[in-house]
Amino acid sequence: MAFDYRKLRGKIKEIYGVQSAFAVALGISCTSLSNKLNGIVDFSQEEIAKSAELLQIEKKDILDYFFTEKV
């Protein structure tokens, strides 16, 4: 199953400006973040929780950012 991370990418840009700054805050490499946002590797539950905290995403909105299926 492929997920659409456009909304997540927008939130990263809004809060951190660039993906590399968010990757550092999340504690992963830029390559790892890119692989996750491109659907090559899945986000772990821990990464989703930390991302939501870093990006000020409310728990009720996590589905919209991390589990919207590509159409």
* Domain boundaries, position 25: 6-66
Does residue 71 fall inside a structural domain? no
Over the stretch 3-32, which tens digit does the pLDDT of each residue have? Answer: 999 999 999 999 999 999 999 999 999 999
Confidence of residue 60 (pLDDT cuts 50, 70, 90): very high
Confidence of residue 67 (pLDDT cuts 50, 70, 90): very high
Q: How many CB atoms lie within 10 A of CB 60?
A: 7
Q: How many CB atoms lie within 10 A of CB 34?
A: 15
The number of distinct structural domains making up the chain is 1
Does residue 1 fall inside a structural domain? no
Rounded to two decimals, the pTM is 0.94
Does residue 45 fall inside a structural domain? yes
Question: What does the mean pLDDT of the chain come to?
Answer: 97
The pLDDT score that the predictor gives to residue 1 is 82
CATH of the domain at 27: 1.10.260.40
